[in-house]
Structure 1
């Protein structure tokens, strides 16, 4: 039955992976996966509380957590309701529009099981990246300025990760682990969707000293090449665009002052400045700070609170040359179209995330968790050197999480 449940949930994940506007993200990367981690602000490198959180945050944690020493299967789902608005000014004329995306659902599945007393295996499937806007028929296009004659802007980037994981318990208080990553990505810049695959790897370590746990994790850059995805607004043959999930390093410390209370703080570094695609869009490296607290009552009730902050990686080019040209991966395109795409098409600017959650353990074999997130409004805007063109975006994010956990001995 457990194997059938895993297959069914995995199929549901693939079939319902839908187009995002801007998920609860640092840049365009999820702050966390599943209610436990997300409700604690994405913290989970040192003390993840379920199988998906462990595989996502720190592969070594598969050997140390509330799911040990048995097996665990998790199904989680997040309902996102983002709100993105654009402001485009050309001379005295200003147009404001709201991106026409609707709330959507992103499922995730994960399982872990022992291979031996010291070796454990895990498997996760979840979305890690999502960003895009839909301003079709909204009247904010750059038609008069583009030789290609594009209509209103539409963008969509999404990445699904398949992550088999192994972890080894070196000592009762020290574990190491790794995950192999297979990525499936799709990118649409309004001229058709391009699909492709990428590969990467994640390494982790976890050390426990009494009531304190220390965790660290490193993820390699993970590139996906999108073939024939856009003509870059110059009306020629469609070209390739590489998008690379950034090199990521994270560390966390967790403290259990009592059996019921868990407090964790994480620090994460995302190397956007060297990641292909994001480097050309001039994203800066990002430091992310996450802190979360959990109270787990002996009677089965769990309460969580969290906060996550990461300064927007999108650099502003105030005073850009609207008549100039810009090179993007060997393609020379009008700077005006380039800035329009950066500011309107990929507004990954959410910074302050506040999270909460509640759970209940119905039995020794089953528990359920709910969570929510609110990212405060944040805006970006830039104007060219002549003062003629102004591009701006405003983003607000909310989401709601459900997680179901089954334990097997």
Structure 2
């Protein structure tokens, strides 16, 4: 079959509505519950537990005992949608189900210089799932993505002031997305559906530096690399109007790069009880300009069911966070933090798959250490976004105009055990 190019507004399974996320774009922040409690301020400089494998691999040098940290977070999102299409449809909102984000880390000191570790976490992902009659269904119905990362890691302490860390990342991505197709004879009814699935495995790396600048102040810098994916899967078109072609699967391919990021933070121990944190993160979202899917769908079907290229034109973003921890006694530590985070989307190209704006996050957390061997961390975050508008018009899919009001609650817990 002759290969055709599906330039589709289905987009990519990783260009998701990020109302369910606590980081910009389709990134996730929930790789550490202890960091979640401070709004992720000080993420690359705190090195509280084994989750520093992600936050800053150089921080493993501060962990003097072998330990494991396991945990998870749940994100509960809410979207109020005031939208309509000239082809009809509903706007129920709350298109994001409750989603869990697992994590697990292990660190073992070898000697006074070397430490090794391993991490499993989810850096990108989650899902949006609109109702079957949604007014936005021609521009996006269901989007699902999951990126799972495995990271073996090593750190080296030059002395008690400076350490470095490095870890390659093995990243497994899989996704599914679907949109309805318009019946040309009775628009707005008897819809068909186009569904795309794909997966890939690719390699990246994380590298970090940790500096004990003074007796009370640490500085951390962590770089998470870009990862270059080539998703391979299939495209399936369900529409009675195409007769024997309906329900068939056709090979599909999509190239995408998840962005690199740079995290800088500081941790300052004010006294025996108070610790202050601050941090900023730059993410190169400008890598996502547009989406093109290459597919073996026969050319007549591609012309009929494919759509124009979905322009993304995302821009680079900055996030800023401040936080504090108060050591109540030997067993309890209380935390809080506040984060502001830019959205990479723009008012012209924003779609119902990514109806996100700039956001603010308020966080609370606590750590309980009943003994020297175990710590249980819990955290809660509340996110609210600026209201955003979507205004799309396509000769085939009709118009879609909507206002989104997005917010989310995040809860998490982890257990650290030291051997």
Smaller-chain TM-score range? 0.7 to 0.9
Equivalent in the alignment of 1:322: none
1:232–1:350: structure 2 CA closer, same or farther, 3 Å change rule?
farther
- Backbone CA RMSD of aligned residues: 2.9
Q: Which 5+ residue runs of structure 1 have no aligned equivalent?
A: 1-18, 147-151, 318-338
1:347 aligns with 2:378: no
Cα deviation per residue 1:156-179 (whole Å; 9 max; x = unaligned)? 122111111110001111001111
Cα offset for 1:240? 2.0
1:38 is aligned, of 15, 22, 36, to: 36
User: 252-261 vs 80-89, which deviates more?
Assistant: 80-89
Equivalent positions of 1:257-268 (< 5 A) are: 257-268=270-281
Equivalent positions of 1:259-298 (< 5 A) are: 259-275=272-288, 280-298=311-329
1:252 is aligned, of 228, 246, 265, to: 265
Equivalent positions of 1:208-223 (< 5 A) are: 208=212, 209-223=214-228
Equivalent in the alignment of 1:308: 339
Equivalent in the alignment of 2:60: 62
Equivalent in the alignment of 2:231: 226
Equivalent in the alignment of 1:182: 170
Cα offset for 1:383? 2.7
Question: Partners of 1:395 and 1:58 in 2: how far apart?
Answer: 31
Question: Partners of 2:267 and 2:418 in 1: how far apart?
Answer: 24
Question: Partners of 2:136 and 2:161 in 1: how far apart?
Answer: 58
Q: Please give the secondary structure, in 2, of the residue aligned with 1:243.
A: strand
1:159–1:104: structure 2 CA closer, same or farther, 3 Å change rule?
same
1:397 aligns with 2:408: yes
Question: Partners of 1:124 and 1:280 in 2: how far apart?
Answer: 35
Q: Please give the secondary structure, in 1, of the residue aligned with 2:320.
A: strand
2:156 is aligned, of 168, 171, 174, to: 168
2:27 is aligned, of 29, 36, 39, to: 29
Cα offset for 1:21? 6.8
Relative contact order higher in (CA < 8 Å, ≥ 6 apart): 2
1:281–1:132: structure 2 CA closer, same or farther, 3 Å change rule?
farther
TM-score by length of 2: 0.77
Cα offset for 1:231? 7.9
Cα offset for 1:206? 0.7
Equivalent in the alignment of 1:124: 119
1:203 is aligned, of 204, 207, 223, to: 207
Q: Please give the secondary structure, in 2, of the residue aligned with 1:226.
A: strand
Q: Which 5+ residue runs of structure 2 have no aligned equivalent?
A: 1-16, 179-194, 292-309
Cα offset for 1:229? 5.1
Cα offset for 1:196? 1.4
1:141–1:257: structure 2 CA closer, same or farther, 3 Å change rule?
closer
TM-score by length of 1: 0.79
User: 290-299 vs 273-282, which deviates more?
Assistant: 273-282
Q: Which has the higher helix share?
A: 1
Question: Partners of 2:161 and 2:228 in 1: how far apart?
Answer: 35
What is the count of residue pairs matched by the alignment? 356
2:256 is aligned, of 229, 243, 254, to: 243
1:267–1:243: structure 2 CA closer, same or farther, 3 Å change rule?
same
Flag the structure with larger Rg: 2
Cα offset for 1:348? 4.1
Question: Partners of 1:229 and 1:309 in 2: how far apart?
Answer: 38
